[in-house]
A and B are shown apart, each in its own frame.
Chain A
Amino acid sequence: MSGHHNSDNIQHLYEGDQSKLYSGVLSHHTDINSPESKAQVKKIWKVFWILLIITVVEVVIGMFFSHSMPKGLVNFFFLALTILKAGYIVSIFMHLGDEVRSFISTVLIPLVLFVWFIIAFLSDGFFWLRMNNSSPARGDTVKEAPANAKHTNGH
């Protein structure tokens, strides 16, 4: 059904001359006006509308609610919506969702490194800000640092 033919018996096409792979596999796609083709195009436009609506929601939150809602909650919304958008782009537009499972894992597993990178580096930045004696964050200027942070960190 998809453009990727995972179920077809095309193994022989991967051996030796791969140039026959696509011409061989795709030869039975002939009619771009077929219902199958139209269903795929419809899906592409559906994803476009989803991405557009998510972006509009993000911008509305950014313009009107970013100062009235708790910063942590706003950031959570932004990050969740970003991951959702990224998922649609990778899965539908880049067709990763149509590939075999072993390939999906090969692409996604290395990205788990980012989880650690983000935690490690951001917490280091956060730590440095409060370690630094000359930092104004040790006063009451940053929301996360209560007014008495000076005393708790200083001893």
Chain B
Amino acid sequence: MSHTTVVTSEPKENLWAGGRSPYNLSYGKIMMWAFLLSDALTFGAFLISYGTTRFFSAVWPDPNAVFKSFPFMGHADLPLLFVSLMTFILIMSSVTMVLAVHAGHYNDKKSVAKWLLWTIIGGICFLACQAWEWTHLYGEVGALWGGFTDPATPVEKFHHFFNEHNAGHILATQPGVAMQATHNFFNYFFTITGFHGGHVTSGVVFNILILVNTVNGVYERRGHYEMVEKIGLYWHFVDLVWVFVFTCFYLL
């Protein structure tokens, strides 16, 4: 009887017994993930220190009051609209990137080039939006790193960043506390969106490089488009970070 069951079910595969890659992934992609993990910790440290500062501030600027402008709309009160557009652009460019990666799986050179081009355009549009927002904040609001430190600053310079309902009392009695919060808010805002914008910029540069390589047939000769996948991971990560920046700075 015991001889009848010669073919047993396969032994449970042990991924970690050696002799094989437990990850089923190429070295390059594993290393890109390792880099993204470390980058996530960097962005996490930025956002958590922002949160800590916010928690020990008695008042904090109201994003609906700070970010309410839209290009060519003058002084219309349009909270969150412009940053929603930026978010839409970045999600859209993430979709075009994943479509480029998909086309790469099928060695479809023309589609890879097309979708990479759209991704680059999306990235440049996002950076243009950010440039406008920074210019607006600096030019019309007077905010940049290190602003709002002079104790003689009149309260009119920053009281409009706050929600009267929550912060009115402090603005009236201790404007210095509100000014300190304004100072911290903009320092974190420019540092974190600047660091993110730096990532978008380098992502656009990488995308241009792989577009040139794709068009020149480098990956076609190599037989695979793994480089597009790796840069795709980086690009999606940049979109992912923006999701958290958007929540922390504009929503919460």
User: Which chain A residues have a beta carbon within 8 Å of chain B's beta carbons?
Assistant: 3-6, 10-11, 14, 18-19, 21-23, 26, 29-32, 37, 40-41, 44-45, 47-48, 51-52, 55-56, 58-59, 61-63, 66-67, 75, 78-79, 82, 85-86, 89-90, 92-95, 99-100, 102-103, 106-107, 110-111, 113-114, 117-118, 121-122, 124-126, 128-129, 132, 135-137, 139-143
Kindly state the separation between the CA atoms of A63 and B24 in the bound complex, as whole angstroms: 45
- Determine the distance from Cα of A113 to Cα of B44 in the docked complex, in whole angstroms: 10
B163 within 8 A of A: yes
Chain B 95-117, CB within 8 Å of chain A: the 1/0 string?
Answer: 10111011101111001000000
Chain B residues with Cβ under 8 A from A129's Cβ?
55-58
Q: Which of B120-128, B152-160, B207-215, B221-229 contacts A (4 or more CB under 8 A)?
A: B221-229
Inter-chain CA distance A26–B25, complex, in Å, is 13
A62-B250, A136-B170, A136-B173 known; A121 vs B52 contact (CB < 8 Å): yes
Contact of B87 with A23 in the complex, beta carbons under 8 Å: no
What would 17 A/B residue contacts be, using CB atoms closer than 8 Å?
A5-B24, A11-B21, A23-B223, A48-B92, A59-B81, A82-B243, A93-B94, A103-B30, A113-B41, A117-B48, A125-B51, A125-B52, A129-B56, A129-B57, A136-B170, A136-B173, A139-B169
Q: Is B191 positioned at the interface, with any CB of A under 8 Å from its CB?
A: no
A6, A59, A118: which contacts B48 (Cβ < 8 A)?
A118
Task: Give B108 Cβ to nearest chain A Cβ, in Å.
Answer: 5
Question: Is A78 a contact partner of B240 (Cβ separation < 8 A)?
Answer: no
Taking a contact as CB atoms under 8 Å apart, the answer to whether B247 and A48 are in contact is: no
Whether B252 is near chain A, meaning CB under 8 Å from some CB there, is yes
Q: Which residues of A contact B105 (CB under 8 A)?
A: 3, 26, 29
What are the residues of chain A within 8 A of B57 when measuring CB–CB? Answer: 129
**Chain B interface bracket (under 10, 10 to 19, 20 to 34, 35 or more):** 35 or more
Q: Do B243 and A86 have beta carbons less than 8 Å apart?
A: yes
B58 touches A58 (CB 8 A): no
- For A86, the chain B residues whose CB sits under 8 A away are 240, 243-244
Please judge, given known A-B contacts A90-B240, A141-B59, whether A59 and B52 are in contact too, CB under 8 Å. Answer: no
Option from A18, A40, A107 in Cβ contact (under 8 Å) with B27: A18
> Of A30, A40, A62, A106, which is within 8 A of B79 by CB?
A62
